[in-house]
Structure 1
Amino acid sequence: MDLRQLRYFVAVATTKNFTRAAELMHIAQPPLSRQIQLLEEELDVQLILRNSRPIRLTEAGRVFYEQSVQVLQRVDQMKNTARQTGRNHRQSISIGYVPSTLYGGLPMLVRTFRQRYPDTDVHLVDMGSIQQISELKSGRIDLGFGRVRTNDTSVARTVLREERLVLAIPPAWPLAAEKGPVRLEDLENPKLIVFPKEPRPSFADHVLGVLHEKGVKLDEVHEVRELHAALGLVAAEVGLCIVPAAARLRADLVYRLIANEEVTSPIILSHRLNDDSWYIVAIKQLIAEMYAQNPPWLDVQTNAFPSHPAIRAEEPSTKDGADPK
């Protein structure tokens, strides 16, 4: 199968006529028909019903047509990007991220990277932690910032920090009366809101797993798609929600730190194994510089840092350490 065959097939499927498709592709009809036949033989499935006027696609043909259009559009996009890069001598990198990292250092990191390397375009792509792994391997993204640990040996992972978790509580509930840390074991059959609903596994599974390990029995579990919806339901007194410390977004809620210090969520930088591209080194260096500045979002009371010198925070009193969407 080659791109030429896909283009011939899309032309036939679009015009619903072999003659017009041949004219459109500037080819005689017999060789065009032969290429479609070879494509069907390779796929071992009939794509086109030739005895109808106008011709129609089989169910397999319809699905193959939709996917062929996507492939050809992607190829055209790749060509345009390559030409644009060649003309402008600009490099482009794509970074996958989970939304909760936007409340920490990712915006500052990207902003600083663009200032320091103005000839490199940075594209941010919203995707779950697990999806980042497959997209790294396919080449769609070059770096990923996620929160779920994986064991894929083709991807290198660096834990940038471990972020403490907090319990978001409706102000009128008894749990909100105290302001100190709360132990998970002290939660009595809570109604819990988790996010994201999909894709899974995700931060939702991390939270549910931690509660199961602590023996916390839940009265109800509400699954929502994203963080803002979860906090909105907390404000509506639907239930409690466990969120990263940096995601204390609503001022109308009470947040209590989870007292269990081992209950954290990592910020994980991922890239392809053995990828020695310059921007990976640059990103790690910028992270080290950024951590050394101790910006407001990098609360040393709610973060623990690994000992790797490339990403060590300057604060000497932090602990060595290591997961939401």
Structure 2
Amino acid sequence: MDLRQLRYFIAVARERNFTRASEQLHIAQPPLSRQIQLLEEELGVSLLIRHSRPVQMTEAGRLFYEQAMQVLGRVEQMQAATRRVGLNQRSVLSIGFVASTLYGGLPTLMRKLREHAPELDIQVVELMSVQQIQALKEGRIDIGFGRVRHSDPNVTGIVLREERLAVALPMGSPMAHTSMPLPPTELDGQKLIVYPKEPRPSFADQVLSTLNGHGVQLGEVLEVREIQTALGLVAAEFGVCVIPSSARQMRRDVHYRLLDSDRATSPVIFNHRVNDNSKYLVLVKQLIEEMYAERPSWLDAHNLPTTAEGLNDGNGQEPEHTVKRKRPRRTAKP
């Protein structure tokens, strides 16, 4: 399998026609068809339904299309970043993130980074939490923001905060008649939508473990790939979904209630390579410290204090370089 075959397949999938795809790619149709056939033979599955008009993708084809788009997008980012660094001597900081962190402090952190290091070329890559660990070890990203604790000795994981969990409910649900915190046991018998479907372990496992720990007996569990799909299904009254509380701003056609339990939380974890002492990592830690010291509204509204003063690593132990939250200065009593 090579990048050329990925581009060929994407062109056919988009055009839904071999003739138009060959014209777009400036190659003859027979070699295009042959390359797609070789790709299918290597994978051992059919990607396209050729006898339909227009050409349609199989289920495997749809999955392959999504993944191929991500691969080519990443390759293009790599090429562009390499040219910028080579031609302009710019430094690059690649940040991995899970989608839900975009509704908390990550955008603020990136703005602060651009202000303090305008020479820095910031690249962002959406990766699931477990994918970030491997990407860090392989050097594909420099830092990551995820939600799953890990025990990898090569990666330091610092818990920035414990974020409250909320339940997204269909507007017509009897539970949507109030905005009071929802006792977890009220989800007994409900059809639950969880994400991501894979890779695991993931936020989905955190949700299932939390509800199980509260003795909730679910009706059915539907697994989907991403939070946007999950909330869309909630709006369509397919079930309910537990999400980080900061993500409640994603859709306005569903009703949200916080889960009424101090144990119903999900960590936001800052990951980086062990023994990485680069100046930009030091800067990131400094900016995170400043950001939390400012006590932004999203922090007070959606989160619980961490279990120890400051920030903890993924194993509950304070790392060597920890970010301390500033306490207000005490005044002496008269």
TM > 0.5 between the two? Answer: yes
Aligned to 2:112: 112
Q: Among 300, 307, 310, which residue is 1:308 paired with?
A: 310
Q: Is the 8 A contact 2:245 2:302 kept in 1?
A: no
With over 3 angstroms needed to count, the CA separation of the structure-2 counterparts of 1:80 and 1:216, relative to structure 1, is closer
Matches within 5 A, 1:198-209: 198-209=198-209
Give the distance between the partners of 2:240 and 2:82, measured in 1 at CA.
49
With over 3 angstroms needed to count, the CA separation of the structure-2 counterparts of 1:228 and 1:84, relative to structure 1, is closer
Aligned to 1:102: 102
List runs of 5+ in structure 1 lacking aligned partners.
1-57, 64-73, 317-325
With over 3 angstroms needed to count, the CA separation of the structure-2 counterparts of 1:193 and 1:80, relative to structure 1, is closer
Q: Is the 8 A contact 1:192 1:220 kept in 2?
A: yes
Aligned to 1:21: none
Matches within 5 A, 1:21-100: 84-100=84-100
- In the TM superposition, residue 274 of structure 1 has moved relative to its aligned partner by 1.0
Query: How far does the alpha carbon of each residue in 1:201-222 deviate from its partner, in whole angstroms, 9 at most, with x for none?
Result: 2111111122222221111111
Aligned to 2:260: 259
Aligned to 1:293: 294
Query: How far does the alpha carbon of each residue in 1:224-275 deviate from its partner, in whole angstroms, 9 at most, with x for none?
Result: 1111111111111111110001000222222111111012111101111111
List runs of 5+ in structure 2 lacking aligned partners.
1-37, 44-73, 312-321, 329-334
Quote the RMSD (CA, aligned, Å).
2.8
Please tell me the residue identity of whatever aligns with 2:258. L
Give the distance between the partners of 1:202 and 1:297, measured in 2 at CA.
23
Give the distance between the partners of 2:225 and 2:145, measured in 1 at CA.
19
Matched, 1:212 2:207: no
- In the TM superposition, residue 301 of structure 1 has moved relative to its aligned partner by 5.3
SS where residue 299 of structure 1 aligns? Answer: helix
- In the TM superposition, residue 108 of structure 1 has moved relative to its aligned partner by 1.3
With over 3 angstroms needed to count, the CA separation of the structure-2 counterparts of 1:280 and 1:259, relative to structure 1, is same
Give the distance between the partners of 1:84 and 1:227, measured in 2 at CA.
33
Please tell me the residue identity of whatever aligns with 2:271. S
With over 3 angstroms needed to count, the CA separation of the structure-2 counterparts of 1:239 and 1:116, relative to structure 1, is same
Matched, 1:284 2:277: no
Q: Percent identity over the alignment?
A: 51
Q: Is the 8 A contact 1:291 1:312 kept in 2?
A: no
Please tell me the residue identity of whatever aligns with 2:291. M
Structure whose alpha-carbon radius of gyration is higher? 1
Aligned to 1:245: 245
Aligned to 1:17: none
Q: Is the 8 A contact 1:294 1:314 kept in 2?
A: no
SS where residue 163 of structure 2 aligns? Answer: strand
How high is the TM-score relative to the length of structure 1?
Answer: 0.69
Please tell me the residue identity of whatever aligns with 1:253. V
**Number of residue-to-residue matches in the alignment:** 249
How high is the TM-score relative to the length of structure 2?
Answer: 0.68
Q: Is the 8 A contact 2:163 2:302 kept in 1?
A: no
Please tell me the residue identity of whatever aligns with 2:135. E
SS where residue 201 of structure 2 aligns? Answer: coil
What stretches of structure 1 move > 6 A for 4+ residues in a row? 74-80
